[in-house]
Amino acid sequence: MSFEFGGYFLGIFWAGNLWETTHAITGAPLDNSAVYARQYPWIAPPDNADRMEKARAARWAVATAIDREAINETVVGGLGYPISRMHINPGDPNYDSSWSITTDLAKAKEYLAASGNPDGYPLPIYSASGIPEGVAMADALTVQLRSMGSKMNVTAPHMDYTVYRPTVVSRTSVMPWITWYDQALTDWPLDFPMIPTATSITRGGFALGFEAPEIAQAFLETSKETDQAKRIEINKGVIEFLHHWQLATGIAAVPGIAVYNPKSIQDWPHPPDLRVGLHHLENIVPVK
């Protein structure tokens, strides 16, 4: 599964789960008190096993209730495809079928009960304002997830990204969000060092809103590993970790579509690219 001009994955990143206690590079202690000042069903500190499991169940409840096929058809116009994992194509030979999530409302309600919120919970889901498909997905989820329970109040705050971004840079965000970023591209190689933005390594800059020492360690290992097969195995472990804890819930892959006039352009060879949008303009062959 791929797109000729590239594409990107969209899904929910469960901000607020900052599980590193020391900086992955410097070893300096990290102050994560801001995200744990109040309790949210989807957030838990790593030193509280009971809350960790309940928060995991709260995230899994949402992941299991999402109708990805419907969102692909209505939001993406059927031009993309449903995904469960954010960092690997379901058509990749390294993809494990156990990573796929089937829409199952009954199972979602079981997860809600396990989370301690049998009737649901208030859940804001933001989407970066510059990604119209993401905004539409967040709006769609406010309707889709209502059937989980009478208290499943899902909202989709509409605000400019410049308002939300400072909270992920400062590691104070507690609001899950829908977005894409450089390593959420459909043709990103699986052996590349994976998602430092889900670790303390990028503190002071962009982040996905959650951090885990397991991901940081894997990134550092793949960064120095010269064997491609070993890098892939390490990254498969990261994907398994993300799947178990449901920190990045996939929704759908969106194509990066480019349209051109065949009366003006005869051919436009476009090799595989790690970017989304109009590139390789030098390869355009104009109509003579």
Task: Report CA-CA distances (Å) from 170 to 8, 141, 216, 247.
Answer: 25, 27, 18, 19
Beta bridge partners of 124: 155
Does 259 score more than 90 pLDDT? Answer: no
Confidence band of 2 (pLDDT split at 50, 70, 90): very low
Where b means 16+ CB within 10 Å and e means fewer, 42-57 reads bbbbbeeeebbebbbb
Confidence band of 185 (pLDDT split at 50, 70, 90): confident
Domain spans in the chain, listed from the N-terminal domain onward: 7-257, 261-288
Confidence band of 283 (pLDDT split at 50, 70, 90): confident
Nearest to 163 by CA among 180, 175, 145: 175
Does 44 score more than 90 pLDDT? Answer: yes
- Residue 51 has a pLDDT of 98
Confidence band of 258 (pLDDT split at 50, 70, 90): low
Task: For residue range 200-237, list pLDDT tens digits in order.
Answer: 999 999 999 999 999 999 999 999 999 999 999 999 99
- Residue 272 has a pLDDT of 55
Beta bridge partners of 200: none
Q: How far apart are CA 65 and CA 148, in angstroms?
A: 7
* pLDDT, greater one: 183 or 89: 89
pTM: 0.90
Q: How far apart are CA 71 and CA 81, in angstroms?
A: 9
Beta bridge partners of 7: 255
7-257 fold = Dipeptide-binding Protein; domain 3 (3.10.105)
Mean pLDDT over 40-57 rounds to: 98
